[in-house]
Every structure is written in C-alpha cells, then in structure tokens.
Amino acid sequence: MARISASVYTSHVPAIGAAIDLGKTTEAYWQPLFKGYEFSKQWMLSHRPDVIFLVYNDHATAFSLDMIPTFAIGTAARYQPADEGWGPRPVPEVVGHPELASHIAQSVIQDDFDLTIVNKMDVDHGLTVPLNLLCGSPQAWPCPVIPFAVNVVQYPVPSGRRCFNLGQAIRKAVESYDEPLNVQIWGTGGMSHQLQGPRAGLINKDWDNRFLDRLIADPAGLAALPHIDYVREAGSEGIELVMWLIARGAMADVAGGPKPTVAHRFYHVPASNTAVGHLILENPQ
C-alpha cells in the first residue's frame, strides 16, 4: 500500500525562481534564504519519495477568469513550465503520475470533495519554485509530481477547515492505493505578504511564527481560523497559507496516529515582497 511519509511546507515566491534562473543565489540578498534550504536538499536526497503530491496555486497562468476551479488535480502524464509573461522558466518538464492521481481523484470525489480533473495544463512558479528549493536545479526532477491547484486568487478561497478535511481525504486515498509508493505531500505559498494597494509590503513575523507553531502542534485549531484573520494579519495574499492545511491534514496524527517529527524549520524575511516559511514534518515509520 502507498503511504504518506512526510509533508513539506514552503513559500513559492516568483523572485526566488528568478534568483535561481539568473544565478543570483549567492548574492548577499539571497544567500540567507538559500542557506535555509541547504538542510532540505540533503534531506530530499536521503528521503527521496516515489511521488510528490504538490499543493500550490496557479497565478492566473493555466486558469484565467474563464474557469476558476476551487480544487484541481492534475492527472496528466507531463506538464510544461508556463510562460508567465517573462518567458518559460528554464526548468525540467514535470512528469506526472496519472495512475495515482486518477485513483486519488476518484477516492476524494467519492468522499464529497468536488475536484476538477485536469488533463492538460502548464505549471507556473507556484509549483516549480518549491521543486527548485528542495531539489536544486537538476536535469530532471527526482520523481513524478501530482499538481494540485487551489484557487486562492478569487475570493472566497476554500476555508482552512475545508482544506484540512480535504487533506484527510487525500491521506485515505493514498493509503488505499495498492502499489507500495512512498508519497510526500507538499503545501506551498505564503507566508505573510500583500502585493496590492497602499498596504503592499505587509509582513507579520509574530503571526507567521505562531502559524508555524500551531501548524505543528494544533492543526485542527489552526484550521478553524477564518479568512479575515489571514487577510487582516498576514496580508491579502497571505491567504495562500490555507494550502498548508491540506498537507497538514494528510499527516498520520490527524487520523489518530503518532505525532509528526519536525525535521526542519526555517523562517526568513524578505524574499521580494514576502515572508518565507519552511517546515518539514515526518511521519514516524
């Protein structure tokens, strides 16, 4: 049977991708940020999964205002890096896992989560920047990836509670897959940031760090946080953090299993307009 071995949480700022693509990672501005991911790259080498289930949001790339799916699961065999207006990022194509993705879609929909199934889409920085941060810049990504896009562009986005419950349904789906795959689930986006209006540039370190504390120790309580708290305290784009609750909901302790181990925790301000947070939680074997 497949199992979820760990969850990874990270911001996915486009400027991080640009810094990687332009060879700026050792510059004084960026060096502290990339230092925070050195452990994670080593950890990925020693904890290489068979599949990554990657929760992210599309930034008006694959989905325009013509169609706005709340939850979209990629069941394609491959995905190309998108041209977001600056030209496509020079990163490898993303190889999917159509069999597991279709299995999860069927199971989760039967559990009352109405997913949109996507067989063709390009993937933007929301998906490729986390892969770079954890895997570096290889010729090919180390394993297949199932993209899972969440609408956090047009309000209302799904609630934290909904995301947390969805994570539980995803765990159940993975554990009912016959092949013995080692699956990681990643939640990306955030932390505090606001990209619009006179309040642009908002950062709330205290709130972000409390969010990290509670994500580890009290995820069910954290999931009860209403949208307005994210907007007011972490900025209008800080709402992306609801996606972290999908990954957290898929961990064993939520289903009565043992507590996860914190393998790594990192926080840094700024990356462009954004506070960067990063966690790795392992399910005990």
Partner 1 sequence: MPLDKPYLDVPGTTIFDAEQSRKGYALNQFCMSLMKAENRDRFKADERAYLDEWPMTEAQKEAVLARDLNRCIALGGNIYFLAKIGATDGRSFQQMAGSMTGMTEAEYRDMMVGGGRSVEGNRKVGEDGDAQAHRQPQGRQLPKEGA
Q: How far is the CB of 49 from partner 1 (least distance, A)?
A: 29
Which residue lies nearer to partner 1 by CB, 144 or 235? 235
User: Based on the number of CB atoms within 10 Å of its own CB, is 13 exposed (0-12), middle (13-18) or buried (19 or more)?
Assistant: buried
Catalytic residue among 59, 125, 264, 268: 125
Compute φ and ψ for 80, nearest 5 degrees. Answer: -95, 145
Residues 253 and 173: beta-carbon distance below 8 Å:
no
Identify whether 264 is a catalytic site residue. Answer: no
Q: How far is the CB of 101 from partner 1 (least distance, A)?
A: 25
Contacts with partner 1 by CB under 8 A lie at 14-15, 18, 29, 59-61, 64-66, 82-87, 153-156, 192, 194-205, 207, 226-228, 231-233, 236-237, 269-270, 272-273, 275
Q: How far is the CB of 221 from partner 1 (least distance, A)?
A: 20
Q: How far apart are CA 81 and CA 92, in angstroms?
A: 8
Which residue lies nearer to partner 1 by CB, 8 or 123? 123
Contacts of 203 (CB under 8 A, 6+ apart): 192, 193, 235, 269, 270, 274, 275
Catalytic residue among 103, 193, 264, 278: 193
Which residue lies nearer to partner 1 by CB, 46 or 64? 64
Which of 41, 140, 125, 118 is closest to 83 using CA atoms? 125
Which residue lies nearer to partner 1 by CB, 142 or 270? 270
Identify whether 12 is a catalytic site residue. Answer: no
Active site residues: 125, 193
